Amino acid sequence: DAGVTQSPTHLIKTRGQQVTLRCSPKSGHDTVSWYQQALGQGPQFIFQYYEEEERQRGNFPDRFSGHQFPNYSSELNVNALLLGDSALYLCASSSWGAGNQPQHFGDGTRLSIL
């Protein structure tokens, strides 16, 4: 039973570029949430996808966008990268219909902006 998988594990970009991060949820899960974790901080909620729609969004600018595919996998896109976007990006999956329940996290993508 595969857990949450994310790719790539590491990425280096320069300011102004665009990046796409990918996530496959845990088997049986249909909801994907994305988080940004800066060094020494807790994860910050970016947005959540269910049934290929953005259902909830945290306090992040429109440069952060996403997508969910029919197989429940998801992408996080960040445009016009800033130095402050350097962080660990975590994907978490859950099952929408089960109400509040634990988020199962992937290992994350470490994004460095030069």
Partner 1 sequence: GENVEQHPSTLSVQEGDSAVIKCTYSDSASNYFPWYKQELGKRPQLIIDIRSNVGEKKDQRIAVTLNKTAKHFSLHITETQPEDSAVYFCAASRRNQFYFGTGTSLTVIP
- The distance of closest approach from Cβ of residue 42 to partner 1 in the complex, given in angstroms and rounded to an integer, is 4
- The distance of closest approach from Cβ of residue 76 to partner 1 in the complex, given in angstroms and rounded to an integer, is 16
Both structure tokens of 7: 């790719």
**Angle at the Cα of 17 (from 16 to 22), degrees rounded to 5?**
140
- The distance of closest approach from Cβ of residue 17 to partner 1 in the complex, given in angstroms and rounded to an integer, is 25
Phi, psi of 105 (to 5 degrees): -90, 150
Residues 5-64 that bind partner 1 (CB under 8 A): 31, 33, 35, 40-45, 48, 56, 58-59
Q: Which stretch binds partner 1 (CB under 8 A): 14-22, 63-71, 76-84, 99-107?
A: 99-107
Rounded distance between C-alpha atoms, residue 98 and residue 114, angstroms: 41
